[in-house]
Each structure stands twice: as C-alpha cells, then as structure tokens.
Amino acid sequence: MKIPQSIYKKKLSFSESMYNFFATITGLTVFNWEFLKQAFIPPYEIKEIKKHMDELGVKTFPIVSIMGIIIGLVLTMQSQPVLQRFGATDFLPAMVSLSVIRELGPVLTALIFAGRVSSGIGAELGSMRVTEQIDAMEVSAIEPFKFLVVTRIIATTMILPILTIYVIFLSILGGYIAVIITENMSFIYYVNSVVTSISFGDLLPGIGKTFVFGYIVGLVGAYKGYTTVGGTEGVGRASTTSVVTASLLILVFDTVLVKISLWLWPTVG
C-alpha cells in the first residue's frame, strides 16, 4: 500500500529553525516572568507542591540510584589504571569524590531528571490543554497557571538538589566498591580521604546549581505543555521538545555556572 507523502513532516529550513529557536527563547522569557509574578501571590498551594514533589521526585529515586552506583564504579575503574601509572592511587578517593560532587553528580542527575520529569510535565499539561481542561478551569474561576504551573516548577526546583545529594552519596559508595576490587584500601582510609578532600567551595557550587537545573526542568516542561497546540500530535511534540530544550539549557547554564564558581572560589577550582 502506498503511503501518502502528506503524512511526512515537512523539513524545516534554516530560517524557520532559527525563528522557532528565538520564538521558544522569547516564550520561555515571558513564561518565566509570569511565574515570578504568580509565585509570590497567595494562595501558595503547599499541598499541591508536596504532591508534585512526590510524583516528580520521589518516584525518580530508583533510576538515579542505579545511575549513582554506576557513576562511582565506572569513574573509579577508569581512573585507577591512569593514577597507578604515576604512582598516585592514594589520590583516587579524592579525585572520584571531587569529580562527582562538582560536576558529574549534578549534571548527570539533572539530565536524567529532565528526561523523566520534563517530558512528563509537557505531556500531562499538553493533554490538559488539547482536551480543554485548562480552559474549563479558567471558566470555573480557578487560576490554572498558579495551580498547574507554579506548583510544578517549585516542586522540581526543590526536589532536584535532594536527588543530587543522594546520587553523590551513592557514587562515592560505588567508588569504594570499585576500590576494594582493585586496591587493598581500608574503608576508614577511603572515608578520611574523601572527607579531607572536600571543602565548602566544592559542595556549594555542586549542590547550588542543581536548584537552577531543577528550575529549568520545571519551567521548560510546563511551558511546552501549557502552550501546546495541534491535538495529540502536539502533545507528543511538547513531550519530546521539553526533554531536548531542558537538556540543552542545563548544559549551557552549567558552563556559565562553572565559570562563575571558579571565579568565586579560585583556590578550589
């Protein structure tokens, strides 16, 4: 059976792609400004925020648990032969812990979080938009932006740092598992090496930037879902573009935040 060519999506030209890019940035800026205005106006919907923290964050624990252990295992196994070549295996715990705390833990957790949560928010709000549930809330004198958008963005902003701390702990534990497989190192020595190598200037940038990443995940997912058009096809498109846009912005903002943290704590960086 011949498939009609009309079902294939038209390939966008470079100018159309650039237009869509700048339109998305402009839309996110306006959407972000609306969130900042609504976030500080009561009621604050604390119960709804707790609900979303459970749905969007706590249910992400299984996948980030596996990821955390694997990060520590792989990083340690890859680094051990290199350090051994220079006779510096004693620095292995410090290197693993600093790498995980400052960069790998926050960024990888944020990317996994974006893949699961941003797409979910985009699909959920997109479905509500195309089925006119959001319009029905407006008719019922309920402020849908505060109830649907503000609560989700606050929830993602608060839950991602908690997930990151959990992943960092598991990664350091995974690093020890890899160490005892390849090296004769005691647990006390490993812990002491990790603790003495970590300073406030390492923890603050690593954990602090996850608030920004969580905010990005919630903002992008909510924006793509809340502004969905085009029926069920639009819902799928919102879910996909949410992940892509959120992941890209996380990497871009990470580059900027790393530079800022090195400027603020030059002796640590």
* pLDDT tens digits for range 73-128: 999 888 888 888 877 778 888 888 999 998 899 999 999 999 989 989 999 999 98
Q: pLDDT tens across 119-155, in order?
A: 899 999 999 888 888 888 877 777 888 889 999 999 9
**Structure confidence at residue 179 as a pLDDT band (50, 70, 90):** confident
Between 72 and 183, name the one with better pLDDT. 72
Proportion of the chain above pLDDT 70, given as a percent:
92
For the cut 80, the answer to whether the pLDDT of residue 5 exceeds it is: no
Residue closest to 190 by CA, chosen among 205, 171, 208, 173: 173
Q: Write the burial class of residue 26 (CB in 10 Å: 0-12 exposed, 13-18 middle, 19+ buried).
A: exposed
Q: What is the pLDDT of residues 94-107, one digit of tens each?
A: 888 999 998 899 99
Predicted confidence at residue 213, as pLDDT, reads 96
Q: Looking at the predicted structure, is the pLDDT value of residue 22 above 70? A: yes
Domain ranges of the chain: 45-264
Distances (CA, A) of 138 to 3, 134, 158, 223: 41, 6, 27, 17
pLDDT at 252: 94
